[in-house]
Structure 1
Amino acid sequence: MIEIKKILVPYDFTENAAKVIPHVISLAQKYDATVYFMHVVEDITRWGFGSYVPHLPLDSFKKEALEGARQAMEQFCSEALRSCTSVQKILSVGDPDAEILKTIEQEGIDLVVMATHGRKGLEHTIFGSVAENVLRRSTAPVLTINPYTLKK
């Protein structure tokens, strides 16, 4: 029998991502699993602004972004995930794909549940798809949910 004791939920605080939460709660309750609620603050320094862009106070930006994400995570978990018996919060900075994949390995995740955003064309080419990259490279099963197909 498959044991699901650790469920990772990469979350970007969008409306689409929120739509998968009822599925996460249902799975966590059914399997008595711990929910690893994760948010990655993207490290904008990796985009290499170059010398033609005025200097940005990146350290203060990163600090404010982390604090805002921490507050949003606390509020969201206390409201939306209150019915889960065990929730671990993970907040990191970096490339979302890499951070999610690293967490899967480090925490021994049994299942990843994430929303797709349905980007197409140029938008998909420019921004890529975190869900697609995680799905292709994850050592744990990944359940992707298309939020546009869920009933309201």
Structure 2
Amino acid sequence: MDILIPIDGTDASKRALDFAIEMAVRMGATPYVVHFTNKQTDATEAILEDARERLSAANFPNKPALSTITVDIWTADRVGKEILETVEKNDYDHVVMGHHESGTVERAVFGSAAETVLRDESVPMTVVP
């Protein structure tokens, strides 16, 4: 089983990564961690370094993958669609994502990448609050 774990550096994303790592260890699955960004910065590297440390603490028989994907149009809906395209392209079996509460206005304007993936229903998904 291959598990895709999109991360963004938020606390919800870190909780989802920890959950997915435990899930992958228990199931003998391979985690594939990806960070979607519109620009590579020091913050991008900090997010990836945190993920590397969390992954290295687990004992995986197969080496987990960690990568970034650049998204030109930076909205939650666009990121959600990029996640779905990544799932389809690489035939991932499951997606684990964090989801944090946002205000009504923020949700109306920006939406949620997790909601976009969940509504699509093309891949099994676990949402970690």
Q: Which TM-score band applies after superposition, normalised by the shorter structure?
A: 0.7 to 0.9
Aligned to 1:56: none
User: CA-to-partner distance for each residue in 1:38-71, whole Å, 9 max, x for gaps?
Assistant: 11113xxxxxxxxxxxxxxxxxxxxxx3253652
Percent identical among aligned pairs is 29
Indicate conservation of the 8 Å contact 1:8/1:38, yes or no.
Answer: yes
The alignment status of 1:111 with 2:94, answered yes or no, reads yes
Aligned to 2:70: 93
- 1:124 and 1:115, CA in 2 relative to 1: closer, same or farther beyond 3 A? same
Indicate conservation of the 8 Å contact 1:24/1:113, yes or no.
Answer: yes
Aligned to 1:20: 16
Indicate conservation of the 8 Å contact 2:35/2:48, yes or no.
Answer: no
> TM-score normalised to the size of structure 1?
0.71
Q: Describe the SS at the equivalent of 1:81.
A: helix
Aligned to 2:55: 81
Indicate conservation of the 8 Å contact 1:104/1:138, yes or no.
Answer: no
The RMSD of aligned alpha carbons is 1.7
Aligned to 1:11: 7
Query: Aligned pairs, how many?
Result: 120
Which structure 2 segments of 5+ residues have no match? 72-77
Indicate conservation of the 8 Å contact 1:35/1:84, yes or no.
Answer: no
Runs of 4+ off more than 2 Å: 67-74
- Separation of aligned partners in 1, 2:53 and 2:8: 16
In our comparison, the structure showing a higher alpha carbon Rg is 1
Aligned to 1:121: 104
> TM-score normalised to the size of structure 2?
0.83
Aligned to 2:118: 135
- Separation of aligned partners in 2, 1:90 and 1:76: 13
- Separation of aligned partners in 1, 2:119 and 2:88: 15
Whichever residue aligns with residue 101 of structure 1, its letter is: L
User: Could you tell me how far 1:31 is from its partner in structure 2?
Assistant: 1.3
